[in-house]
């Protein structure tokens, strides 16, 4: 049987079985942020595939590098289980603990920002970019520059440096695979061969834990209440962003870079059940949607196996049991963060960079109980007003400009948090 006929015959066979039949298919994987929710779910899928491959030593996925920021014990556990060539802890003070935990293994232990860049530069052909916040930009950029397939779970990279990063993608030949459930949904149903037939995108939002809360109730909301997402299990920062709807604002900016659609044609719709993850509207009136249970392993599996598909253990969708799907427009008066994100994209230049940096500082201020929930959007707005001064956003000519503007925005936002903490 020639290779073309073999590929056709094996098209519907699960990846692990196909790997055994072809005998040479392997994907080397680096996970930037392996101890977070996305990183752990990625390793869960890889482990399940490894077990499905049997005991004959055929692993479909081989781990090149794993990185974490603080969670050194979990990183050690992961490294022992998956035997990467390199394990990096961001906090350099934890390097002795990492070395001790990996003594006797073949995994190189390293720490710090430069080691993180080294991990991203290693020869993995698939890189999960799951470091939360602007801190994820340098290693993600490193992976992009060497032309890797980058599974992007860090939306802040495109928010902070969208045009610059997309230029690097085009230059290097890298492939960006969206992992956020909303962007992955669009990615699955977007007609890239005929983008002119796309009339618009609809990003869905659960509405977060405060969807039905009044402004007065949100004013006294606690961090514990804000991180209690009704549908998804996420880290604290992302959960707070979901509660303010800033998460959807950041996704709006990200979508404007990922997909060839004018920002004016991108909508946000609140869908509390989180079953429809996003929709693509076409010029003939058709609207295509990707549906699934709220489990991040579905979009991760889509990116991990792309351009094929692989089994995932996500609960199968039972629409008859769900009964109904509801939708509503977002209330911009109670959730101004969404408007701030849209306005920052319209302002252009470095305004989205300012938005993201100020939001990260403001969210930390709230989590540290230094200010209230409603102060998050207020700090972001004040920082945008101060640094944009009613004009266009500062120009971003290179990534150094991004770094400098990010630092400037954080400094101003921090002063706003201090002011509110004293009130």
- For residue 310, being part of any structural domain is answered with no
Q: What phi, psi does 385 have (nearest 5°)?
A: -60, -40
Work out whether strand 276-282 and strand 287-291 pair parallel, antiparallel, or are unpaired: antiparallel
What angle do the packed helices 156-172 and 351-367 form, to 10 degrees? 140
Asked whether residue 411 carries a pLDDT value surpassing 80, the answer given is yes
- What pLDDT score was predicted for residue 262? 95
CA distance 212 to 334: 10
- What pLDDT score was predicted for residue 24? 42
- What pLDDT score was predicted for residue 25? 54
CATH number of the domain to which 406 belongs: 1.10.1740.10
pLDDT tens string 340-399: 999 999 999 999 999 999 999 999 999 999 999 999 999 999 999 999 986 778 999 999
pLDDT tens string 174-187: 999 999 999 999 99
Tally of domains in the chain = 2
User: Is residue 261 domain-shared with residue 387, that is, in the same domain?
Assistant: yes
CA distance 258 to 190: 11
CA distance 154 to 132: 6
Sign of CA dihedral 11, 14, 16, 21: negative
- What pLDDT score was predicted for residue 238? 86
Written as six digits, the tokens of 327 are 């939708």
SS (H, E, C) 303-353: HHHCCCCCCCCCCCCCHHHHCCCCCECCCCCCCCHHHHHHHHHHHCCCHHH
User: Is residue 248 domain-shared with residue 264, that is, in the same domain?
Assistant: yes
pLDDT tens string 144-176: 999 999 999 998 899 999 999 999 999 999 999
- For residue 300, being part of any structural domain is answered with no
Is the separation of the CB atoms in 359 and 132 below 8 Å?
no
- For residue 306, being part of any structural domain is answered with no
User: Is residue 138 domain-shared with residue 273, that is, in the same domain?
Assistant: no
Share of the chain above pLDDT 90, in %: 83
CA distance 326 to 344: 29
Q: How confident is the model at residue 135 (pLDDT cuts 50, 70, 90)?
A: confident
Is the separation of the CB atoms in 206 and 181 below 8 Å?
no
CA distance 356 to 91: 23
User: Is residue 173 domain-shared with residue 269, that is, in the same domain?
Assistant: no
- What pLDDT score was predicted for residue 8? 38
Residues in contact with 68: Cβ distance below 8 Å, sequence separation at least 6, in sequence order: 33, 34, 35, 36, 39, 74, 75, 88, 89, 90
Written as six digits, the tokens of 242 are 């979901």
Domain stop point among 178, 197, 223: 178
User: Is residue 221 domain-shared with residue 119, that is, in the same domain?
Assistant: no
- What pLDDT score was predicted for residue 342? 96
CATH number of the domain to which 157 belongs: 3.40.50.720
Which residues does residue 28 pair with via DSSP β-bridges, in sequence order? Answer: 62
Domain stop point among 148, 178, 208: 178
CB-count exposure of residue 319 (10 Å: 0-12, 13-18, 19+) = exposed
User: Is residue 139 domain-shared with residue 155, that is, in the same domain?
Assistant: yes
In this prediction, residues 407-423 reach a mean pLDDT of 93
CA distance 253 to 231: 23
- What pLDDT score was predicted for residue 229? 74
User: Is residue 203 domain-shared with residue 89, that is, in the same domain?
Assistant: no
- For residue 9, being part of any structural domain is answered with yes
**How would DSSP label each residue in 166-224?**
HHHHHHHT-EEEE-SHHHHHHHHH--TT-GGGEEEEEEEE---TTTT--HHHHHT--HH
Domain that holds residue 345: 183-289+315-422
Residues in contact with 171: Cβ distance below 8 Å, sequence separation at least 6, in sequence order: none
- What pLDDT score was predicted for residue 120? 97
- What pLDDT score was predicted for residue 49? 87
User: Is residue 113 domain-shared with residue 160, that is, in the same domain?
Assistant: yes
pLDDT tens string 208-257: 999 999 999 999 999 999 998 776 666 788 899 999 999 999 999 999 99
Residue 149: which H helix or E strand, with range? strand 149-152
Of residues 15 and 126, which shows the higher confidence score? 126
User: Is residue 197 domain-shared with residue 107, that is, in the same domain?
Assistant: no
Average pLDDT, the chain: 91
Q: Quick one: CA torsion of 77, 69, 62, 178, rounded to 10 degrees?
A: 130
- For residue 295, being part of any structural domain is answered with no
Domain stop point among 116, 147, 178: 178
User: Is residue 197 domain-shared with residue 169, that is, in the same domain?
Assistant: no
H-type alpha helices, 1-92: 3-9, 15-22, 37-52, 72-82
Share of the chain above pLDDT 70, in %: 91
- For residue 250, being part of any structural domain is answered with yes
pLDDT tens string 274-285: 999 999 999 999
Asked whether residue 13 carries a pLDDT value surpassing 60, the answer given is no
User: Is residue 161 domain-shared with residue 200, that is, in the same domain?
Assistant: no
- For residue 158, being part of any structural domain is answered with yes
- For residue 225, being part of any structural domain is answered with yes
Written as six digits, the tokens of 208 are 């977060």
Of residues 108 and 12, which shows the higher confidence score? 108
User: Is residue 137 domain-shared with residue 217, that is, in the same domain?
Assistant: no
- What pLDDT score was predicted for residue 44? 96
Is the separation of the CB atoms in 392 and 347 below 8 Å?
yes
């Amino acid at each position: 049987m020639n290779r073309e006929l073999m590929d056709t015959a094996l098209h519907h066979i699960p990846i692990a079985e196909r790997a055994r039949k072809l005998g040479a298919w392997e994907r080397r994987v680096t996970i930037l942020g392996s101890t977070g929710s996305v990183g752990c779910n990625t390793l869960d899928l890889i482990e399940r595939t490894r077990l499905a491959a049997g005991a004959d030593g055929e692993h479909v996925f081989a781990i090149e590098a794993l990185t974490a920021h603080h969670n050194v014990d979990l990183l050690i556990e992961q490294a022992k289980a998956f035997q990467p060539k390199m394990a990096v802890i961001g906090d350099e003070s934890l390097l002795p603990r990492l070395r001790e935990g990996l003594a006797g293994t073949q995994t190189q232990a390293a720490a710090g920002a430069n080691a993180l860049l080294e991990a991203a530069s290693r020869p993995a052909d698939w890189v999960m970019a799951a470091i939360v916040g602007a801190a994820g930009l340098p290693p993600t950029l490193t992976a992009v520059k060497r032309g890797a397939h980058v599974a992007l779970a860090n939306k802040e990279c495109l928010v902070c440096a969208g045009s610059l990063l997309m230029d690097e993608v085009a230059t290097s030949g890298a492939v960006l695979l969206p992992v956020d459930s909303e962007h992955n949904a669009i990615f699955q149903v977007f007609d890239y061969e005929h983008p002119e037939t796309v009339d618009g995108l609809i990003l869905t939002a659960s509405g977060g834990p405060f969807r039905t809360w009044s402004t007065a109730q949100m004013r006294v909301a606690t961090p514990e209440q804000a991180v209690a997402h009704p549908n998804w299990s996420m880290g604290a920062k992302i959960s707070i962003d979901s509660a303010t709807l800033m998460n959807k604002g950041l996704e709006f900016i990200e979508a404007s870079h990922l997909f060839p659609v004018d920002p004016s044609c991108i909508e946000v719709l609140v869908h509390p059940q989180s079953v429809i993850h996003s929709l693509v509207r076409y010029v003939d009136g058709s609207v295509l949607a990707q549906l699934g249970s709220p489990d991040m392993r579905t979009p991760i599996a889509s990116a991990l196996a792309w351009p094929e598909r692989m089994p995932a253990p996500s609960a199968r969708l039972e629409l008859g049991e769900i009964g109904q799907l509801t939708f509503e427009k977002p209330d911009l008066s109670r959730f101004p963060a969404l408007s701030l994100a849209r306005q920052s994209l319209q302002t252009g230049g470095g305004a989205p960079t300012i938005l993201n940096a100020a939001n990260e500082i403001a969210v930390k201020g709230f989590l540290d109980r230094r200010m209230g929930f409603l102060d998050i959007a207020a700090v972001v707005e004040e920082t945008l007003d101060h640094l944009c001064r009613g004009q266009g956003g500062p120009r971003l000519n290179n990534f150094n400009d991004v770094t400098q503007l990010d630092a400037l925005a954080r400094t101003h936002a921090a002063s706003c948090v201090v002011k509110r903490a004293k009130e």
